[in-house]
Amino acid sequence: MEERLVKEINHWVHRYEELKLDVAAGRQPRMQPENARRRAEDLSERLERRMAELKRQEQVFSQTPVVVGGSLIVPQGWLDQQEGQPVPQWAANAEARQRIEQQAMSVVLEHERRLGNDPLDVSRENHGWDILSRTPDHEVRFLEVKGRVAGATTVTVTRNEMLAALNQPRRWFLVVVFVDGEQTDGPHCIPVPFDREPGWAESSVNLDLKRLLNLDT
């Protein structure tokens, strides 16, 4: 874990220096230098926190667990429906959520074509990304598309998507599109936002959209 994070940090530091040179030469890179610098700093902070956590875990000793309480968690939309309250259409049924995902896919596919790329929808193949996009220079990018309702604060990424991202850290991107009826905001293209592999019992993780958007390229 430490070795991989250090490599990622070094990559973003090097990328920051490259982008600064591009800007100084009058070019307009797709990613701003400050985004690369913040990415490197964020990874460094995470590495420090993780190493500190591992050190604390060395002092932990297992004891017999004691159950002190329990809870039942149900979707807020379901509760609202039971009480007869109006529920946003996007939250009320799977069909509406699927429409949001389809709108997001259409936006990203069209955006890639406008860039001159050749995108292919592979969302049904469960690779850990939804679109395989080839640039005119024959470079390949793997795009995981997330359609989110306007105002959403988190996005869920599956274990399979995390592993795919970590296996292709230079070419995998999380692409977020916000949907509000027929209006869309995006796509927001975000480099690999993970600093660790998923735990053995993790099937998915929720990520903070506000922080992710700071990495938008």
Q: Which two tokens stand for residue 135?
A: 């640039």
Tokens 């109006």 sit on residue: 86
Q: Residues 59, 93: one domain? A: no
CA–CA dist 141, 57 (Å, integer): 38
Confidence of residue 142 (pLDDT cuts 50, 70, 90): very high
pLDDT of residue 194 exceeding 70: yes
Identify whether the C-beta of residue 205 lies closer than 8 Å to the C-beta of residue 157: yes
Q: Which domain does 110 fall in, by range?
A: 89-217
Which H/E stretch holds residue 47? Answer: helix 33-57
Cis peptide before 187 (omega within 30 of 0): yes
Tokens 């070419």 sit on residue: 171
Considering its fold, how many domains does the chain have in total?
2
pLDDT of residue 69 exceeding 80: yes
CATH number of the domain to which 167 belongs = 3.40.1350.10
Confidence of residue 143 (pLDDT cuts 50, 70, 90): very high
Q: Domain ends where: 46, 63, 80?
A: 63
Query: Is position 68 within any domain?
Result: no
Query: Is position 201 within any domain?
Result: yes
CA–CA dist 212, 197 (Å, integer): 18
Of all residues in the chain, the percent with pLDDT exceeding 90 is 11
pTM exceeds 0.75 for this model: no
Q: Residues 49, 129: one domain? A: no
